[in-house]
């Protein structure tokens, strides 16, 4: 209920220019992110699409006030370092980007998934069992998990990319 209220209140206060990144800026940020092995905070789907051109995207949706989300940040930073140049790790702050929260159907955070492509305008996700799907609900990694869970799904995504 509180999350819903926060999303509704935040949605009414968005400065559309403040959170908008041009496709060129998204490309530069994504490139810089991979070169520096950092986690990229995104605000638009175009930023995911640009990152997908380089490989799989590990997406985490969370919020600053979420303790588990904050605990997950160092894990994702290490994954970003370990997979630099092969995959991109991105986060979405659902309070800053309520449109993305709605798009991905967030009901609990942290909520992560690995996006491996786009098929007919819909994201394709890697499931933990190695299957791909356009149904994000079956590919979610909910709450906080150990680094090996994220690495396993990314490894499966990278293997899938080669085949």
Q: Answer whether 0.85 is exceeded by the pTM.
A: no
Contact assessment for residue 104 and residue 62, using Cβ atoms and an 8 Å cutoff: no
Catalytic member of 40, 61, 66, 154: 66
Distance CA 143, CA 39 (A): 18
> What are 18-58's pLDDT values in tens digits?
233 333 444 444 444 344 569 999 999 999 999 999 999 99
Distance CA 18, CA 85 (A): 29
> What are 68-125's pLDDT values in tens digits?
999 999 999 999 999 999 999 999 999 999 999 999 999 999 999 999 999 999 999 9
Residues 6+ apart with CB under 8 A from 63: 6, 69, 93, 94, 95, 109
Selecting from 3.30.70.2660, 1.10.287.130, 3.40.30.10, 3.40.640.10, what CATH number does the domain 2-162 have?
A: 3.40.30.10
Catalytic (active site) residue 13: no
Catalytic member of 39, 69, 101, 106: 69
């Amino acid at each position: 209920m509180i999350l819903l209220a926060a999303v509704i209140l935040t949605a009414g206060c968005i400065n559309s220019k403040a959170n908008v990144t041009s496709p060129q800026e998204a490309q530069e940020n994504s490139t810089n992110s991979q070169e520096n092995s950092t986690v990229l905070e995104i605000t638009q789907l175009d930023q995911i699409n640009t990152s997908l051109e380089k490989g799989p995207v590990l997406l985490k949706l969370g919020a600053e006030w979420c303790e588990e989300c904050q605990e997950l940040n160092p894990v994702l930073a290490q994954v970003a370092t370990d997979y630099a140049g092969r995959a991109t790790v991105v986060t979405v702050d659902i309070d800053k980007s309520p449109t993305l929260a709605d798009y991905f159907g967030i009901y609990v955070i942290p909520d992560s998934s690995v996006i491996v492509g786009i098929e007919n305008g819909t994201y394709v996700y890697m499931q933990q069992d190695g299957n791909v799907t356009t149904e994000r609900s079956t590919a979610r990694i909910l709450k906080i998990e150990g680094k090996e869970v994220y690495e396993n799904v990314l490894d499966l995504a990278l293997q899938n990319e080669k085949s």
